[in-house]
């Protein structure tokens, strides 16, 4: 098992990419902490799946628009006393053309997608600094690299995550902490649930591999970054889009 005796914290871990990462990490021996906001029932259901894999589990409510995760740290200290892996996965997208944007949408998107990553990282890294070991994995997006035609603040927030990744990689390396990010293209999650069949077909056609990613495609890359296989990989953004942006 590649993550035996590790403790992993996955934000937004009750559904989508986060859930796939949580289940894969648990199957590789990690105890799991997730945060959730709107997916309480899913978080409760995930507990059964994680425990069936023989792993410990903790679900923490976290609203990235309102708090800085200090309460969550208290819960983690009571149950685990350490965190080896942090996956900053929680995020939102509110599709709006630039002309339709308002300040509330701008601020909410950056608060959840960017400030939320900062807050969770700031709260969790003391565990890693103390133990002189840690893996930080940030989920960004190809939208942060090539832009997004459906949400400017989403693209800006994801570009900010990649910049944060590079900065943290430099600052935290002295503590044996690596920081990397994953930039997915379209993934079959709730983000795509309102897309028409026509648009989904177009997304498939625009991807050289001819399909939209499954959440587990991203989870397997996260496992690489979380495991010892990536011990000398630091400050990188790995694009996982089936070749979409190089077509």
Query: Which residues have a catalytic role annotated?
Result: 154
197 dihedral zone (left: phi>0; alpha: psi -120 to 50; beta): alpha
Q: Which residues contact 199 (CB under 8 A, 6 or more apart)?
A: none
What CA–CA distance (Å, rounded) separates 225 from 235?
Answer: 11
Q: Which residues contact 143 (CB under 8 A, 6 or more apart)?
A: 151, 154, 155, 158
Structure-derived torsion over alpha carbons of residues 13, 19, 25, 27, reported in degrees to the nearest 10: 140
Token pair 């990649």 in the structure block, residue: 162
| 140, 165 Cβ separation under 8 angstroms | yes
């Amino acid at each position: 098992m590649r993550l035996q005796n590790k403790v992993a914290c996955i934000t937004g871990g009750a559904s989508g990419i986060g859930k796939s990462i949580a289940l894969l990490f648990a199957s590789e021996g990690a105890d799991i902490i997730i945060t959730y906001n709107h997916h309480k029932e899913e978080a409760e259901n995930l507990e059964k799946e994680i425990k069936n894999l023989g792993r410990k589990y903790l679900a923490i409510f976290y609203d990235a628009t309102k708090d800085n995760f200090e309460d969550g740290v208290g819960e983690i200290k009571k149950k685990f006393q350490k965190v080896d892996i942090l996956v900053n996965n929680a995020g939102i997208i509110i599709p709006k053309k630039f002309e339709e944007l308002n300040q509330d949408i701008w601020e909410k998107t950056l608060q959840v997608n960017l400030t939320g990553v900062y807050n969770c990282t700031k709260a969790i890294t003391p565990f890693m600094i103390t133990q002189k070991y840690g893996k930080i994995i940030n989920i960004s997006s190809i939208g942060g690299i090539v832009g997004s035609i459906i949400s400017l603040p989403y693209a800006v927030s994801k570009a900010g995550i990649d910049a944060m990744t590079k900065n943290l990689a430099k600052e935290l390396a002295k503590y044996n902490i690596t920081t990397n990010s994953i930039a997915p293209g379209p993934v079959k999650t709730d983000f795509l649930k309102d897309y028409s069949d026509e648009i989904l077909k177009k997304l498939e056609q625009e991807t050289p591999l001819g399909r939209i990613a499954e959440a587990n495609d991203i989870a397997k890359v996260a496992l690489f970054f979380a495991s010892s296989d990536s011990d000398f990989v630091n400050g990188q953004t790995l694009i996982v889009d089936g070749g979409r942006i190089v077509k």
